[in-house]
Amino acid sequence: MTVDGWLAVLAAGIALAASHTTLDVTTRLSASSRRRVLCRTLSGALALGAGLWSLNLVGLLALGTQSWADTDVTILVTAFAVAVLDLMGMLAVFAGSEPSTSRILAGSTAAAAGISATYWTTVAALGPVRPAGGIVRPLILSLTLAFAAFTSAFWLRYRVGPKPSWTGLVGKAAAALLGAAALLLMPLSAWQGASFDFSTLGQGPGAGRQLLGAALGAAGLAILAVTRVAVFYERRLAERTAQCARELEEVHTRLQYLATHDSLTGLPNWLLFKERLAQAVADTGRPERAIAVAVLDLDHFSSLNHSLGHGAGDWLLSEVARRVGSVLRPGDLLARLGSDEFVVFIDSLAARVDAETVTRNILAELREPFSINGADVSVRPSIGVSVWPDDGRRVDDLLAHAEVAMALAKERGGEVQFFQRGMTDSMQERLALENDLRRGLAAGEFALSFQPVMSAKSGRIITAEALLRWRHPQRGVIGPSSFIPLAEETGLMIPLGEWVIREACRYAAAWQLTHGSQIRIAVNLSATQFRHQNLVEVIRSALATENLDPRCLEIELTESAVMTNPEESVGVLKQLRKMGVTVAVDDFGTGYSSLSYLRRFPIDKLKIDRSFVRDLATSRTDESIVRAIISLAHSVGLQVVAEGVETEEQLTSVRALGCDHWQGYYCCEPQPAEVFGAMLRDQTESRVAVSGRFAPLPRAAGAATLP
């Protein structure tokens, strides 16, 4: 018996292509979602069925013993349907997930049965030829060998093939060869004992059979090739889709992280902290367990940021976050609210003392200086704490109460402050006062009172210190100590201070015009005003508007305001001195009191703080201090003013020590502008007592209660 060698080679090629495609299709089905399984199973079964059917036909054509005249087309079509249905069952076994060993065995059984059924149905369609010795033995043998080959092929493909190394490549190749061998078992059983003839190609009596076999083989290979290409591009598309999905997930995760975390410190931000706190508050399964919220603020951080630079400030914030996080318990959460403010969620407290322990640990950790650019920098934290459920059951209430406690801790110089019920009343009063302050500035409720500064020798008025008063429509006259700190914090000090400068210049010009005497007006500047960039321009504009001689204006500054930024202070003071404005240092003796800055800064006067004058007549220590200050000032060409002179004994003492000027209640209390104008008129008309004490003077309403 002779077998056409070329058709046999074509059959082997079809078997290899069908095997490789079968393994690829089953692999794709294992990774498919449920929505795509049916479509892929049906299309894969049709393609693989066509390949198997054409393989059997080409194999039988290579044998050349069938009677083609007796071919039953119906049975031949049935053979194709058998192949498709059986392979559909095999593919269904592998669909949906990575197959287990039992599913591999079931799929191998279905594949072996499908191969055998398709082959023998095709043989039946081509004629009544039967193998010698019957069909049962070769059928059982072919089924067994096909099952073993497919089991080995599927095992290699799913267990070894996915490995990324060369082992995976070898496993895939071996699986394809075993699958091809399983598909060729039936034709090989028919070719057993035959010789292969490669002598004729498209010639002789077998030319028509070769042409038919080539056409059928080409059709089968084309279908398998299309399927293989479709599977390849579908896999590439799935990989790209999966890659895009991963990238989108990474971007989404990153955006989610950025939306809920602080970019500088990496801590959770306000949104994530509030969400976590809300979950804890809503958790009803925490019997007798409390929650604490601690808001932490770094006092004067903006000054550190300006002096050290923003890079150093950012590093300091990150280091603060690291230190605070290092002392928290595993269940606690640290978040950054913004700028220099942090918040700590302290979970599962048995008592308030647990929250005190945590906050004390935070303070202890932050008490150690931070080394920045070789310099040690200390920070002063203020911590406010509220406890659930005692201080509030809602998230917003807990946070608001912790903020209130923190603000009070800041006012008291730092450390820790727990919320108490009365604190909200003071904060509401503070908010109301702030609103009234804004309204009062717009409504013109502020006025100046004036206290004379007397010459120690002549007893005449040489300067008038302008003191700000707020005539509140409901609260009456309010002194500066009650609203100046609030104005500093809210930014209202700049417009309020400018109004004071312009109003003082207006009065000085008016009294000069009315009484014909040049009276110098002293105006106190806060540290905020002094550091403001347009201070010099405001003073120059106020003087020009009233056509006032700059020598009629005196600026009073505290030592701390001058020393905040010495280099900048020197520049501003030189500009004022160049204009002709007098500069005085107020409350001298309570701050730096350094001879070096008296020589360095262009100032004209020192005003001795009232604390040294109060016991001057009875305390030798205070007398020695005042004598030293006067001697120091006179040695560098400065005039000296004694503040807070309230008795004749004090006045006698300051005169005896050589003080140039004095002011205080012994002369009079601060007076409204119209009363002070009358005092100037009296002085011009020489009706001033030799002692320098005015009598009698009309009083402004409420003046006795003012400092």
CA distance 627 to 99: 101
Nearest to 497 by CA among 523, 462, 469: 523
Tokens for 580, please give them.
Answer: 């002709």
Residue 227's pLDDT is what? 85
Domain co-membership, 287 together with 336: yes
What does residue 287 show for φ and ψ, rounded to 5 degrees?
A: -65, 130
Domain co-membership, 635 together with 578: yes
pLDDT in tens, 466-516: 999 999 888 888 888 888 888 887 888 899 999 999 999 999 999 988 877
Cβ neighbours around 178 below 10 Å, total: 22
Is residue 426 one of the residues assigned to a domain? no
Tokens for 89, please give them.
Answer: 């069952």
Q: Are 364 and 317 in contact (CB under 8 A)?
A: no
Is residue 582 one of the residues assigned to a domain? yes
Domain co-membership, 529 together with 650: yes
Q: Where are the beta strands (DSSP E) in 127-212?
A: 195-197
CA distance 23 to 224: 12
Q: CA gyration radius for the chain?
A: 50
Residue 689's pLDDT is what? 43
Domain co-membership, 191 together with 276: no
Domain co-membership, 10 together with 62: yes
pLDDT at 704 over 50: no
Residue 421's pLDDT is what? 75
CA distance 175 to 151: 9
Is residue 698 one of the residues assigned to a domain? no
Q: What is the dihedral of CA 630, 631, 634, 635, to 10 degrees?
A: -150
pLDDT in tens, 599-629: 778 889 999 988 889 888 888 888 999 999 8
Domain co-membership, 468 together with 381: no
Tokens for 368, please give them.
Answer: 């150690």
pLDDT at 33 over 80: no
Domain co-membership, 582 together with 511: yes
Residue 424's pLDDT is what? 63
Domain co-membership, 222 together with 141: yes
Averaged pLDDT of the chain? 81
CA distance 99 to 650: 104
Q: How confident is the model at residue 539 (pLDDT cuts 50, 70, 90)?
A: very high
Domain co-membership, 223 together with 320: no
Q: Give the structural domain span for 357.
A: 270-421
Is residue 254 one of the residues assigned to a domain? no
pTM beyond cutoff 0.85: no
Domain co-membership, 207 together with 279: no
Q: Tell me how many domains the chain contains.
A: 3
Is residue 545 one of the residues assigned to a domain? yes
Domain co-membership, 170 together with 280: no
Is residue 699 one of the residues assigned to a domain? no
